[in-house]
Structure 1
């Protein structure tokens, strides 16, 4: 009986450990020149996967907590995956459609320490307006 209880306890611990593991969010490129999720709140160690459900789009990071260590730019019409290990806000765009406002924000660890740096990113008038809307949305969640 002792061994059975020990096995059950260890098994339960292993299951709960796996449930606490990093998560994955999937974001699609849409036919409306936008991302299916514009503001993603994730935990440190989580992954975001971008899927080319509509052609002509990619992911290019413009700003983040460590400017010298931003994730690589994806190819056009290609799947892209990034594991976020550094807390803070990341701003990204679709390279061909960024000036038209195809932007996204990733908030890692609910950390807004680099928000002022994000707001200083040079963007078109339309993209700046979209970024300001996304920042307001991020703060509400």
Structure 2
């Protein structure tokens, strides 16, 4: 019985300590029609809050590791909060400004398994150029870790 109590205590502490390490990152909509953090590297369980510091923007997810469970599109000019549970690359942007390059990436657990699917998402020439730049930044920052 004593061993079960020790095991239960250990597992409880492990679960609680894992939850205690989750982080929250805040990303603002800037006046330059961009996001204040364009490539965010986070861990599963972390939260991102998008904050409308400039009007006329939102957050829409265009791709991710599991398209059937993508976060919902935010309302215009409203804060938006997402807890990321699945590992992989998430591509998001501002619905009216994505083709003008207002895009961002969230890389969860440094997992690039869905990179090819993200590369295939269609945008205007400007949007494609920005996406290529963001993917290069994401992969470069990964190699520096």
TM-score, scaled relative to structure 1 = 0.87
Distance 2:101 2:83 in 1: 24
Please report how far the alpha carbon of residue 140 of structure 1 lies from its aligned counterpart in structure 2 after TM superposition: 1.1
CA RMSD of aligned residues (A): 1.7
Residue 23 of structure 2 is matched in structure 1 by: 23
* Deviation of the 1:21 alpha carbon: 1.8
Q: What is the aligned partner in structure 1 of residue 115 from structure 2?
A: 115
Identify the residue that residue 90 of structure 1 maps to in structure 2: 90
Question: In structure 2, what is the Cα distance between the partners aligned to 1:67 and 1:135?
Answer: 19
Match of 2:37 in 1: 37
Query: Quick one: distance in 1 between partners of 2:131 and 2:88?
Result: 16
Q: Which residue of 1 aligns with 2:8?
A: none
Return structure 1 stretches of 4+ with deviation > 2 angstroms.
16-20
Give 1 or 2 for the bigger CA radius of gyration: 1
DSSP 3-state at the match of 1:121: coil
Distance 1:30 1:68, change over 3 A: same
Q: Is there any run of 5+ residues in structure 2 with no aligned partner, and where?
A: 1-12
TM-score by length of 2: 0.84
Check if 1:140 corresponds to 2:134: no
Specify every segment of 5 or more residues in structure 1 that has no aligned partner in the other structure, as ranges.
Answer: 1-12
Question: Partner of 1:79 in structure 2?
Answer: 79
1:96 positional shift: 1.1
Corresponding pairs, count: 128
Does residue 131 (structure 1) correspond to residue 131 (structure 2)? The answer is yes
Q: After TM superposition, give the deviation of residue 18 of structure 1 in Å.
A: 7.5
User: Could you say what secondary structure the match of 1:65 adopts?
Assistant: coil
Classify the secondary structure of the residue corresponding to 2:90. Answer: strand
